[in-house]
C-alpha cells in the first residue's frame, strides 16, 4: 500500500486545504508501478473460476459489514452525512457486490453466441464461430464525494469491474480518504482469505492533476470509471484521447434532471406535489446527481399555488452541513450567481440561515424566455437548489426542454390525460435522458437489472452504458470470438455441452 499526503486538490477542485489527511501524494513513477502490478494481478485473476470470483465479491461485502459502526462513524465524520443515510448506503453497497456475485454464478451475462459450422455450405463452408465477453484489463476508479460507499472504494464501479474479471485501482476520494482506507482494508482481508492475487485491488491517494493524468495514461490502464464534476470527468476523457491507444472512459458527470409539471396534476395535487418535491430537492442537502435542479411548467394560477406550497415546505427545511468545504463554497457561489441573474426571482428559501458549511435550501423562478437566453441557468447547482421555468405556453415548454443538454433523468408529473395532451413533449424525453420517470422523484436510483444510470453527454461521456445495475459490467468487457476452436480448449461458456447451463444464442435461437 502506498501512503500519500495531500498537497492540493484537483478532480474535486472544490476541495480546500481545510481537509487534513495523512496520506502521501503518489508520484507518476509509483502510479506506473501500481498499474504494472495491476496488470500482473489481472492475468492471475483471469485464471480464477466463477465460484472463486463470486465468493470474493461476497467476502468483500461481508468484510465491509464486519467493520461495523466505526466505518459509519468515520464516514459520517468525514462527509457530514447522517448515520441513518450511511447505513442505507452501506446496505446498497454490499447488496451491489452480492448482486454481481449472483450474476457471475448465473453466468448468462457473458452473452455467449454460437454459430455452428456448415462444412458443406456452398460456395464456401461456414466456419464454427463462438463469441463471449472478456475483461478489458486493469480499471482505474475515481470515486464520488457524495457516495462514500456506493460509488467509491468498493462501490458500483469497483464491483462491476471485479465481476467483469478486471483488476481495479481506486483513487481514494480526498474528501473521505480515511473511510476509503477502511474499506480498502476490508477488501485486503477478502483478498487474503479468498487467495486472490494481492494486487487485484489497489488503493492510491492523490489530489494533483498529475496523479489523475498518470492513472489514466499509464500504459497498463485499460479503462476508467469516474463519478463527479463535468470538469473532472471531461479532463479524464481528454487524457485518454491523448494516449497512444485511447481507452474507454466512463465519466458520470451529473445532471440538472428536469421535472415537467403538467396542468391537470398541478390543479389536482399541488400540495402533495410540493411536499414530494421539497423532500426530493433537499434530500441529502441536494447532494445527488439525480437532484431535481430544474422544474418546468406552463404559467397558471395552479402553478403559482404549487410554488406557494413548495415555498412553504422549503422554508421549514433545516439547513445542514454539506459534504465538505469545497462543495459548500461551490454551492454558495453557483446558487448566488444563478439567483443574481436578471429575471430570476427567489420563490422561497429556508427560514433558518445557514452557518458554517451548511447549505440553505432555495427555490427560484424564471420565465422560459429568460432561461432560453441565459446558458448559466442551465448549469448544475450542486445542492438544495431548484429553478422553476415558467413557460408561456406548451410550445415554449417544448423549446425549453429541447434546450437542455443530456441528462441522467427526466420526469413528468401528470395525469394520464395530461400525458395524452402533451404527446409531442413526452416523445422528446427519451432523447434527453437515460431514465424517464412518471409521477415520481428522480432522487433514489433503484439497483436493478433494468436501471439506466447514464445519459447523453454531459450526463456521461458515453450514453451507451449505465453505471448502476448489472449492465454496468458491460463497460469493462469486450467481445472476442473463437473460430473453429477445439471444443475442450474453449471457455466453458462456449463448449458444446453448455457446462455452465447458461442462456446462449445457438444458431440464432436462445437456448439453455
Site for a copy of itself in 443-482 (CB under 8 A): 444, 446, 448-452, 454, 456-458, 461-466, 471, 474-475, 477-482
To the nearest whole angstrom, how small is the minimum distance from the Cβ of residue 317 to a copy of itself?
Answer: 20
When binding is defined by CB under 8 A, the residue of 122, 301, 497, 508 that contacts a copy of itself is: 508
- In Å, how far are 133, 138, 196, 286, 433 from 171, measured between CA atoms? 26, 13, 20, 25, 28
* Active-site entry in 289, 348, 380, 396: 289
Residues in 117-146 at the binding interface with a copy of itself, rule: CB under 8 A = 123-124, 126-127, 129-131, 134, 136-137
All three cell numbers of 263, joined, read 396542468
DSSP for 187-248, written as a single string: HHHHHHHTT--GGGEEEE---SHHHHHHHHHSTT--EEEEES-HHHHHHHHHHHHTSSS---
Size of residue set near a copy of itself by CB under 8 A: 72
Tell which one of 343, 345, 395, 510 touches a copy of itself (CB under 8 A). Answer: 510
Least distance between a copy of itself and beta carbon 108 (Å): 8
Contact, 425 vs 394, CB < 8 A? yes
Residue among 146 and 251 whose Cβ is closer to a copy of itself:
251
Catalytic position from the list 63, 252, 358, 380: 252
Query: How many angstroms separate the Cα of 338 from the Cα of each of 31, 230, 374, 387?
Result: 40, 18, 10, 9
Does 343 bind a copy of itself (CB under 8 A)? Our answer is no
Per the annotation, the verdict on 448 as an active-site residue is no
Residues numbered 219 to 238 that lie near a copy of itself (CB under 8 A) are 237-238
Q: Does 166 bind a copy of itself (CB under 8 A)?
A: no
CB nearer a copy of itself, residue 115 or residue 299: 115
Q: What's the closest the beta carbon of residue 474 comes to a copy of itself, in angstroms? A: 8
Q: Is 289 a catalytic residue?
A: yes
DSSP-derived letter for residue 460 is B
Minimal CA–CA distance to 178: which of 156, 197, 199, 205?
A: 205
DSSP string, 404-422: S--EEEEEEE--HHHHHHT
Considering only 22-30, 109-117, 162-170, 360-368, which stretch makes contact with a copy of itself by CB under 8 A?
109-117
Letters for 398-417 (x = contact with a copy of itself by CB under 8 A, - = none) are -------xx---------x-
Q: Look at phi and psi of residue 289 and say left if phi exceeds 0, alpha if psi is from -120 to 50, else beta.
A: alpha
Return the active site residues. Answer: 252, 289
Amino acid at each position: 500500500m502506498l501512503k500519500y499526503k495531500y498537497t492540493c486538490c484537483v478532480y474535486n477542485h472544490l476541495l480546500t486545504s481545510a481537509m487534513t489527511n495523512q496520506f502521501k501524494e503518489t508520484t507518476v513513477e509509483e502510479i506506473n508501478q501500481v498499474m504494472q502490478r495491476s496488470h500482473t494481478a489481472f492475468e492471475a485473476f483471469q485464471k480464477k473460476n466463477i465460484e472463486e470470483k463470486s465468493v470474493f465479491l461476497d467476502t468483500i461485502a461481508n468484510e465491509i459489514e464486519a467493520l461495523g459502526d466505526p466505518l459509519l462513524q468515520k464516514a459520517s465524520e468525514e462527509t457530514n452525512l447522517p448515520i441513518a443515510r450511511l447505513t442505507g448506503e452501506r446496505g446498497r453497497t454490499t447488496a451491489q457486490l452480492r448482486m454481481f456475485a449472483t450474476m457471475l454464478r448465473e453466468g448468462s451475462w457473458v452473452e455467449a453466441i454460437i454459430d455452428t459450422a456448415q462444412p458443406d455450405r456452398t460456395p464456401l463452408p461456414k466456419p464454427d464461430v463462438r463469441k463471449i465477453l472478456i475483461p478489458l484489463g486493469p480499471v482505474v476508479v475515481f470515486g464520488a464525494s457524495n457516495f462514500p460507499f456506493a460509488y467509491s472504494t468498493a462501490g458500483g464501479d469497483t464491483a462491476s469491474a471485479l465481476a467483469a474479471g478486471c483488476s481495479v485501482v481506486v483513487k481514494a476520494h480526498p474528501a473521505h480518504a480515511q473511510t476509503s482506507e477502511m474499506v480498502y482494508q476490508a477488501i485486503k482481508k477478502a483478498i487474503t482469505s479468498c487467495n486472490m492475487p494481492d494486487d487485484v485491488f489497489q488503493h492510491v491517494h492523490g489530489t494533483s492533476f498529475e496523479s489523475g493524468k498518470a492513472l489514466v495514461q499509464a500504459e497498463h490502464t485499460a479503462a476508467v470509471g469516474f463519478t463527479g464534476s463535468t470538469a473532472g470527468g471531461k479532463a479524464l476523457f481528454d487524457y485518454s484521447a491523448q494516449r497512444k491507444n485511447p481507452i474507454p472512459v466512463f465519466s458520470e458527470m451529473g445532471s440538472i434532471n428536469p421535472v415537467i409539471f403538467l396542468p391537470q396534476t398541478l390543479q389536482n395535487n399541488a400540495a402533495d406535489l410540493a411536499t414530494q418535491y421539497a423532500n426530493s430537492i433537499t434530500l441529502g442537502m441536494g447532494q445527488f446527481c439525480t437532484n431535481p435542479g430544474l422544474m418546468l411548467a406552463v404559467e397558471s394560477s395552479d402553478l403559482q399555488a404549487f410554488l406557494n406550497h413548495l415555498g412553504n415546505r422549503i422554508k421549514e427545511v433545516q439547513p445542514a452541513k454539506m459534504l465538505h468545504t469545497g462543495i459548500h463554497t461551490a454551492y454558495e457561489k453557483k446558487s448566488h450567481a444563478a439567483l443574481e441573474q436578471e429575471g430570476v426571482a427567489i420563490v422561497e428559501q429556508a427560514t433558518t440561515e445557514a452557518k458554517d458549511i451548511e447549505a440553505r435550501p432555495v427555490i427560484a423562478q424564471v420565465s422560459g424566455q429568460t432561461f432560453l437566453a441565459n446558458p448559466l441557468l442551465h448549469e448544475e447547482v450542486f445542492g438544495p437548489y431548484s429553478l422553476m421555468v415558467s413557460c408561456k405556453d406548451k410550445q415554449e415548454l417544448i423549446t425549453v426542454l429541447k434546450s437542455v443538454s443530456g441528462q441522467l433523468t427526466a420526469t413528468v408529473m401528470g395525469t394520464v390525460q395530461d400525458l395524452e395532451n402533451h404527446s409531442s413533449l413526452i416523445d422528446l424525453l427519451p432523447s434527453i435522458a437515460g431514465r424517464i420517470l412518471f409521477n415520481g422523484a428522480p432522487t433514489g436510483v433503484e439497483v436493478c437489472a433494468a436501471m439506466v444510470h447514464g445519459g447523453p453527454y454531459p450526463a456521461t461521456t458515453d450514453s451507451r452504458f449505465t453505471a448502476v445495475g448489472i449492465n454496468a459490467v458491460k463497460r469493462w468487457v469486450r467481445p472476442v470470438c473463437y473460430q473453429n476452436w477445439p471444443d475442450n480448449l474453449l471457455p466453458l461458456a462456449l463448449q458444446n455441452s453448455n457446462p455452465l447451463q447458461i442462456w446462449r444464442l445457438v444458431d440464432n435461437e436462445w437456448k439453455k
